[in-house]
Amino acid sequence: MSAPAPTGDELLKVMATLANPHRLRVLAALAGGRDYVSRLARELGISRPLLQVHLRKLEAAGLVTGRTELSEDGKAMKFYEVNPFTIELTPQAIQAAVSTLTVPGADTEGSE
């Protein structure tokens, strides 16, 4: 059984999220397995605050999941991992997604 096709809004959110080189690098790093923020930031050569901004956007788009765990010494550590996903971007997939788009301001067009 295959996953349902994304709505137009979901597709736009994922594509906008992936349209950033830092987020692509984060996904590539996490494709090798889950990791915690500090180690991931060192590996990618970016600050933890910047990494956390990108991780929040990836999480909001449903591409990664974060989970806080306690280390052996009782320190809280946030681990992230990639959620399995497939994006099929064909003309037919775009046509189907467009039919479900929420168009900003569309509800006010005929009310003037």
What tens digit of pLDDT does each residue of 10-31 get? 999 999 999 999 999 999 999 9
Give the whole-angstrom CA distance, residue 63 versus residue 68: 17
Give the whole-angstrom CA distance, residue 102 versus residue 36: 35
Q: Exposure pattern of 43-58 as b/e (b: 16+ CB <10 Å)?
A: ebebeeeebbebbebb
Quickly tell me which residue has 């550590």 as its tokens: 77
Q: Please, are residues 11 and 19 in contact by the beta-carbon 8 Å criterion?
A: no
Cα–Cα distances in angstroms (integers) from residue 68 to residues 15, 47, 52, 65, 76, in the given order: 27, 19, 13, 10, 6
| 37-73 tens-digit pLDDT | 999 999 999 999 999 999 999 999 999 999 999 988 9
